[in-house]
């Protein structure tokens, strides 16, 4: 299997999140040829769906190694030298939306699976909803596997974890994420008659100041400190002589494994209500923090990187969330993939030598996972 040709074919299939259809056709055809049984299913309704997912399974000996990834991509935006969905090779770089995040890694694992004929049981768990709300993506795949009695022993997520050089970083965990919305009603009135109105802004500002003063933790050996950021503050009052009827704010919290999402939501509710008793607080927990302690799985991937790339990777938990937050509930899970320097940017590109090397690294992992 030619990894460059498969990557180009995936890049040419437009798949802005949530993705369905042609891009899955391309991958399913490539995997069917090398002995994978394909289970494609569409779930969900608007606004977060419908979403297509795929479980590709090839029975082997010994353990079950799952590779997880996503075929959906973020919108391309402006500023591309050539079409975002028109794969173009310039020098040693293959350009296209999704080249590193993460169609290149999916193609590399497929090519590696083609190279290792007698290996462990392999599955590819591929979603069309990772870049979006992830409502009907990997969580739906997990439910489908449970229905079919499929239980991986190890999971490798092909997110672009490398920073400066292919192989320099493996992710063994991720921080959790929660978004919180605060809505504070007041009573509109004339600024010259404040006793007849109820201005919500001072109360909201006081609540936000108290939130900003919170210190959640100091971090630990594997995680940086948890942090709370105010990401929006809205009043929407066009008049200079009117006390507004409402004010709102939005928070984003990224938290380590010393915290739990529900506890953080409760903390914010208490803090807000101490200053603004009438406020409404709603939250969405995107995922809890997780850590796969260094051990057999990280050693397996790190050893493959050392043998092929000649470097010892750093183990890290930095960055945003990924679908590993769901898969880590099933089995030990780590992430390793391409260099992430151009992901989500115009002219996103993967280096062709990196793509070839990633095939060799993944093949080494597959061969030794048995």
Average pLDDT across the chain, whole number: 97
The residue with greater pLDDT, 319 or 353, is 353
Q: Is the pLDDT of residue 359 over 90?
A: yes
Q: 288 an active-site residue?
A: no
Q: What is the pLDDT of residues 198-207, one digit of tens each?
A: 999 999 999 9
* Phi, psi for residue 11 in degrees, rounded to 5: -65, -35
Q: Is the pLDDT of residue 197 over 90?
A: yes
Give pLDDT, residue 319.
87
Measured CA angle at 323 (ends 350, 318), to 5 deg: 70
Which of these is catalytic: 129, 130, 257, 348?
130
Span 16-33, average pLDDT: 97
Tokens of 239: 């008049």
Note if the pTM is more than 0.95. Answer: no
Q: 306 an active-site residue?
A: no
Give percent of the chain with pLDDT exceeding 70. Answer: 100
For residue 329, CA distances in Å to 62, 65, 138, 173, 218 come to 21, 15, 12, 12, 26
Q: Is the pLDDT of residue 267 over 90?
A: yes
Rg (CA), the chain: 23
In this prediction, residue 171 has a pLDDT band, given cuts at 50, 70 and 90, of: very high
Give pLDDT, residue 270.
98
337 contacts: CB under 8 Å, gap ≥ 6: 100, 102, 104, 105, 157, 158, 159, 160, 161, 162, 358
143 contacts: CB under 8 Å, gap ≥ 6: none
Place of tokens 């493959």: 304
Give pLDDT, residue 15.
96
Find the DSSP H helices in the chain. Answer: 3-12, 22-33, 104-115, 138-148, 201-212, 261-275, 296-309, 324-327, 352-368
Give pLDDT, residue 283.
98
Which of these is catalytic: 52, 72, 323, 348?
72
Tokens of 231: 């990401």
Q: What is the pLDDT of residues 286-305, one digit of tens each?
A: 999 999 999 999 999 999 99
């Amino acid at each position: 299997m030619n990894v460059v040709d498969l990557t180009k074919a995936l890049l040419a299939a437009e798949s802005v999140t949530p993705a369905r259809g042609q891009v899955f056709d391309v991958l399913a055809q490539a995997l069917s040829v090398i002995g994978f049984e394909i289970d494609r299913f569409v779930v969900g309704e608007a606004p977060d769906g419908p979403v297509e997912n795929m479980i590709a399974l090839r029975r082997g000996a010994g353990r079950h190694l799952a590779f997880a990834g996503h075929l959906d991509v973020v919108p391309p935006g402006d500023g591309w030298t050539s079409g975002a969905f028109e794969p173009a090779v310039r020098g040693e770089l293959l350009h296209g939306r999704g080249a590193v995040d993460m169609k290149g890694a999916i193609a590399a694992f497929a090519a590696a699976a083609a190279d290792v004929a007698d290996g462990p049981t392999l599955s590819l768990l591929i979603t069309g909803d990772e870049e979006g709300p992830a409502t009907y993506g990997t969580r739906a795949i997990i439910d489908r596997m449970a229905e079919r009695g499929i239980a991986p022993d190890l999971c490798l997520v092909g997110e672009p974890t490398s920073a400066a050089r292919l192989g320099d970083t493996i992710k063994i965990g991720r921080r959790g994420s929660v978004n919180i919305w605060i809505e504070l009603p007041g009573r509109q009135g004339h600024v010259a008659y404040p006793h007849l109105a109820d201005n919500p802004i001072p109360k909201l500002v006081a609540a936000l100041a108290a939130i900003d003063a919170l210190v959640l933790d100091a971090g630990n050996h594997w995680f940086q400190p948890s942090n709370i950021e105010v990401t929006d503050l809205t009043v929407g009052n066009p008049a200079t002589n009117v006390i507004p009827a409402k004010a709102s704010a939005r928070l984003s919290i990224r938290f380590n494994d010393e915290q739990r999402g529900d506890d953080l939501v409760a903390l914010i509710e208490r803090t807000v209500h101490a200053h603004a008793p009438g406020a409404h607080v709603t939250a969405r927990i995107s995922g809890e923090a997780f850590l796969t302690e260094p051990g057999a799985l990280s050693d397996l991937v790190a050893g493959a990187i050392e043998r092929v790339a000649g470097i010892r990777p750093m183990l890290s938990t930095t960055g945003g969330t990924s679908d590993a937050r769901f898969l880590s509930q099933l089995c030990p899970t780590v992430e390793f993939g391409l260099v992430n320097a151009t992901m989500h940017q115009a002219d996103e590109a993967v280096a062709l030598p990196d793509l070839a090397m990633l095939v060799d690294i993944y093949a080494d992992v597959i061969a030794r996972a048995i």
